[in-house]
Amino acid sequence: MILNDETRALIMRKLDDGASPQQIQSAALIQLRRLLPLPLIESLSRRHGEKNQVQQAARATLATLDVSELLRAALLQVLAAANDSGEITGTHFLLLDAAERRRRELALKERLVAVAEGRLQISREDYEWRKKTLAELESKSGQGQPLSVEDLNRIREIYGLQPLEENAEFPELDPLQDHEQTPNNSDSSDPGSSL
C-alpha cells in the first residue's frame, strides 16, 4: 500500500509520541478518514523503533568521541559519498585508512615515550636518593659516629635487603683489632700432625 505524505507524517508523528499501532489506526481513521491495515502500521512501527535504536546508539557513540574524531569521520563520509557518486576519481580510501592507522600508531608511540620518560625520571630520583643517603652514612661513619639501627636499615633498603628488628643488638668491636676469624686448629704447633 502506498502512503501519501500526509498519512506518513501522521504515522511518524504518532510513533514519535509513543502511540501503539491501534492508536495510530484510530487517529488515521478520525483525522484522515482512512482505515490503515494494522500489519502495515506494525511494520512501520518496528522499522521506526529500529531506526530510533540506531540513532540512540549513534548519539551515545558521538558523546564519547572528541571533535577531531568527529571531523575525521565527517570527512571520510563526505569523501566516500563523493567517490560513490563519481564526483572524484583516483582517491584511494585504503591510503586514507593506512594514514589513519599510522596516526594512531604515532599517538601510541608518543604515549609509550612519555611513560618511559616518567620511569626514567623516577629512576634518576631513586639513584640520587640512594647516592645522597650513602654519602650521609659514609660521612657519619667517617667521623667515628656509630650507625644506628635506622641507619643500617637505610643501607639495607638501598641494597634491597630486609630491615633489621628495632631491638637488634650488635657486639662492640674494637676498630684497632683484626676481627677476621681464622679456622680453629687445635694442634697448630705441629704441622705434620695433620698428615
Q: Break the chain into its structural domains and give their ranges.
A: 1-64, 92-165
pLDDT at 116: 87
| Cell numbers representing residue 152 in the block | 643500617
Measured CA to CA, the distance from residue 28 to residue 36 in angstroms comes to 7
Reported as a single tens digit per residue, the pLDDT across 86-126 is: 666 655 666 667 778 888 899 999 999 988 888 888 888 88
pTM: 0.33
Greater model confidence, 109 or 59: 109
Task: With a cut of 50, say whether residue 186 has pLDDT above it.
Answer: no
Enter the DSSP assignment of 181: -
Give 23's pLDDT tier (boundaries 50, 70, 90): very high
Mean residue pLDDT of the chain comes to 77
pLDDT at 168: 58
Reported as a single tens digit per residue, the pLDDT across 127-163 is: 888 889 889 888 888 888 888 888 888 888 887 777 7
Pick the closest to residue 6 from 30, 31, 37, 25 (CA basis).
31
Do the Cβ atoms of 51 and 71 come closer than 8 Å? Answer: no
Measured CA to CA, the distance from residue 195 to residue 115 in angstroms comes to 67
